[in-house]
Structure 1
Amino acid sequence: MSNKVEGLLTNADFRRLWIGQTAAQFGTQVALLGMPLVAALYLGASPMQMGLLGFAEYAPFIIFGLLAGVWIDRVPRRPILVAANFFRGVFLLIVPLSAVTGFLNMTILYLVAFLVGICTVFFDVAYTSFLPSIVSKEQLVDGNSKLETSKSTAQIAGPGLSGGLEQLITAPFAILFTSVSFFVSAVFIARIHKLETIVTDEKKQKNMWAEMKEGLHTVYTKPLLWGVVRCSTVFNLSWNVIFSVYVLYASQELNISASILGVIYGTLGVGYLCGSLLAQRVVRRLGVGPTIVGSAAIAACGGLLAPLAGGSELRIALMLMLGQLLFGMGVSMFSISTVSLRQVMVPDALQGRVNATFRFISWGTLPLGSLLGGMIGGTMGLRFALLAGGIGLLASACTLLFTPFLQLRVKSFHEVTWEREVPTKS
């Protein structure tokens, strides 16, 4: 394997991972809109049922997140990635098969969402821990950027593809596309040849609770890691306050049509794509720490534009599009930078537990954010709910000012070490 960043595409194992993840991302984005469409259009779900469907999807991150991290640190990650995608494909097949036989109902949809969510927990934790096994430290930002570009492209095209498939073959059968995409992903990842080196401590393996505690302790005691997870936790809570009432706000208070709202949501994907393409260049120009702080601030500014939108329909649409563009760009650069930092800082034996701890803490606020958004929107108005969420996003970015990130001006991630998080020279 070449150690040069520009030689990343000559790495056959990375190409297989990239193709596999691209297929999975397109399937995921189709399902992101497809599953709610099945519930709303095919089964006539109520708002409460729609909320329960979202809860079923995210609950596994709270229930199994830390356990997944411990287990993934004990075994090779590639088989987990393959198995997770294979079973996601199998579970999603239940939806069209149930529709054909006439047995599809909300209970089945809850079950499928929960089972797929469990697989997603193990895939996401193992996937983040796996990339450092097949690329060099110098290639991590480039690798994460390429993978984020695939995700961004899927976010642009996926919702439109899902809507088109729903009109063509109805929502339950559109899920077939997602199922097949996960099978394709499993095949490509299974063809990765590089063997992983699993570094474990035989004594610690006897006590899973001790291992979970070690993952939590590691994140809490490392200022850079704790700074990221604290920012992400407040950020996810605030964003879900906005997301829970965004469509209602745009359609009812701003009178935005469904077609224009689709274009606005597509701009979010464009922002993700721009961020993924810019991340590496910004790091090289500004340094690791300023990029992380700046990207969080950009995302927060994007979130604040929605409650400030006003005027003609064109002006409102342009403000919402700009907000989505800035939000997507900031989130993408923040994700690439912080994941790369985590991958290069954390020893391989702790990767799974640290990644699981991040998911467990930061994603655990998503259901609470939805609940708060609905409560604030119902009692104080939708615009106020979005304003509260936007202020929360800004507060999350401000938490980074109380960390060593602004001192971290090195231009490459591999200069950040486990023993010394902030190098003495740039």
Structure 2
Amino acid sequence: MNQNQERMMGNKGFRTFWLSHTATQFGSQVAFLGLPLVASLTLSATPMEMGILGALEYAPFLFIGLFAGVWVDRFPRRPQLILSNVGRALLLALIPIASFAGVLSMGWLYIIAFLTGIGTVFFDIAYQSYLPALVNKEQLVKGNSLLEGSRSAAQMSGPGLAGAIVQFTAAPVAMLTTSLAFLISAFSLLFIKRDEEVSSSPGAKRGLWEDIREGLRLSFSEPLLFGVIRCSGIFNFSWSVMFSVYVLYAIEELQLSSGWLGFVYGGMGVGFFLGASLVHKAIRKFGMGPVVVGSAAIAACGGPFAPLAVGSDGMTALILSVGQFFFGLGISMWSISTLSLRQTIVPAHLQGRVNATVRFVSWGAYPLGSLVGGYLGNAFGMRIALIAGAVGLAVSVSTLLFTPFLRRKEKSVQELEKGNFKGIG
């Protein structure tokens, strides 16, 4: 353990935040598989209904993402994290209650998914903007690696747990696990005592739209930030085209059980863990820019496995799991490197708005991709939707060839801070 890591692990605020993040990721990963299983197994959803469900879950990033960024910058972030997770816990607990009462329907699932998505918007933007208040800049890559490690552990165990719960009880019961995890996360955040800096009092702020424009201007004028946004938008759109029908395809066409599906998603967790472990060394060896490009290419390699999966249940699950492994490995390294880049070169008072802009485009692409994937699955078959998504992933990587990333070889936060970045003061 190096000196920076020792200081970070001695930081009680970071340790508590890490625990909260771990609980949140665990709950999120259970819901990641559990919610589609509720729709497909309990409510017999069609491909189009699955697409609509995925679209509504991420639609709030399109509708309120930019406004949430201003809110996150104007007010302390820890209370927003707490309220977001309490709200999501209560909403998801309604799913098993409605199921036991015999009133659960796709309509109710749509409403809960959309409202839960609102909580996700605020939590995701606030948590990314909150970390720089807890650790020094030279600790950001390592801090993000530890947080991503928690995500990978949750990814390895969460879907498997969701699959096991569904296999032996019922799909809605898995949502109780998610609710409990969100409540644990919110409760642990109460113990962080470190003060946050708010740039000025809310009443002294400029107009809402002027604040939004400032975040947009910086995000789209700096070539590296714009390169990340463009690639993420196309990648996530294509990913969502695939995953709007992925669970239904695995269950109906490949005839996999929920238990096998949990194993498949566990492959992504292994990739996440390995990526979080390797990214710091990769940046030190190759530089930030090449790691960003390479991680996107690795993630895109996971695309072709799903439409090509054939054989026995075990063989099919293994092929799908390998694809998930590449997704996890690449996405983990991409998330850590690009988030550390933003947290380093973007001024503190703009963190929320820049993170919101990235999420507005990248996660706002999810609902659009889900609708397209649902349509393609209904009209041409789910395998065609998977192939179309895989092609889109390759296109997203090619956009990075038109950015300065391959020429940027900074191998530390200190070098990044000394870099000559247009529009960042």
User: Which TM-score applies when normalising by structure 2?
Assistant: 0.90
For 1:56-90, what per-residue CA distance to the aligned partner results, in whole angstroms no more than 9, with x for missing partners? 21111111101100111111111111111122222
Matches within 5 A, 1:129-144: 129-144=129-144
1:94 Cα deviation from its structure 2 partner: 2.5
1:4 Cα deviation from its structure 2 partner: 1.9
Q: 1:8 to 1:372 in 2, by over 3 A?
A: same
Matched letter for residue 174 of structure 1 = A
Residues 1:68 and 2:62 are matched in the alignment: no
**2-side partners of 1:205 and 1:174: how far apart?**
43
Residues 1:9 and 2:1 are matched in the alignment: no
**1-side partners of 2:367 and 2:357: how far apart?**
17
For 1:150-193, what per-residue CA distance to the aligned partner results, in whole angstroms no more than 9, with x for missing partners? 11111111122123333455333332222121111111112111
Answer yes or no: is the 8 Å Cα contact 1:231–1:397 preserved in 2. Answer: yes
Answer yes or no: is the 8 Å Cα contact 2:93–2:176 preserved in 1. Answer: yes
Answer yes or no: is the 8 Å Cα contact 1:198–1:348 preserved in 2. Answer: no
Partner of 1:38: 38
**2-side partners of 1:320 and 1:373: how far apart?**
18
Partner of 1:52: 52
Matches within 5 A, 1:135-214: 135-200=135-200, 205-214=205-214
Matches within 5 A, 1:343-382: 343-377=343-377, 382=382
**2-side partners of 1:417 and 1:114: how far apart?**
38
For 1:38-67, what per-residue CA distance to the aligned partner results, in whole angstroms no more than 9, with x for missing partners? 334344444444333323211111111011
Number of residues of Structure 1 aligned to a counterpart in Structure 2:
421
Partner of 2:282: 282
Residues 1:336 and 2:333 are matched in the alignment: no
1:204 Cα deviation from its structure 2 partner: 7.7
Q: 1:48 to 1:305 in 2, by over 3 A?
A: closer
**2-side partners of 1:242 and 1:51: how far apart?**
10
Matched letter for residue 153 of structure 1 = A
**2-side partners of 1:250 and 1:94: how far apart?**
27
**2-side partners of 1:311 and 1:280: how far apart?**
38
User: Which TM-score applies when normalising by structure 1?
Assistant: 0.90
**2-side partners of 1:291 and 1:243: how far apart?**
25
1:293 Cα deviation from its structure 2 partner: 0.6
1:325 Cα deviation from its structure 2 partner: 1.4
**2-side partners of 1:205 and 1:25: how far apart?**
33
Q: Which runs of no fewer than 5 residues in structure 1 stay unpaired?
A: none
Q: 1:255 to 1:75 in 2, by over 3 A?
A: closer
Residues 1:123 and 2:123 are matched in the alignment: yes
User: Once the two structures are aligned, what percentage of the paired residues are identical?
Assistant: 52
Structure 1, 131-140 or 168-177: larger mean CA deviation: 168-177
SS at match of 2:303: helix
Q: 1:418 to 1:128 in 2, by over 3 A?
A: farther
Partner of 2:22: 22
Partner of 2:269: 269
For 1:15-39, what per-residue CA distance to the aligned partner results, in whole angstroms no more than 9, with x for missing partners? 1001111111111122222233333
SS at match of 1:352: helix
Partner of 2:401: 401
Matches within 5 A, 1:241-320: 241-247=241-247, 260-308=260-308, 318-320=318-320
For 1:263-317, what per-residue CA distance to the aligned partner results, in whole angstroms no more than 9, with x for missing partners? 3322122111111111111111111111101111111122234445567877665
1:138 Cα deviation from its structure 2 partner: 0.9
Answer yes or no: is the 8 Å Cα contact 1:346–1:418 preserved in 2. Answer: no
Q: CA RMSD in A?
A: 2.7
**1-side partners of 2:103 and 2:327: how far apart?**
40
Q: 1:418 to 1:210 in 2, by over 3 A?
A: farther
Q: 1:17 to 1:367 in 2, by over 3 A?
A: same
Structure 1, 215-224 or 172-181: larger mean CA deviation: 172-181
Partner of 1:389: 389
Structure 1, 296-305 or 35-44: larger mean CA deviation: 35-44
**2-side partners of 1:30 and 1:254: how far apart?**
22
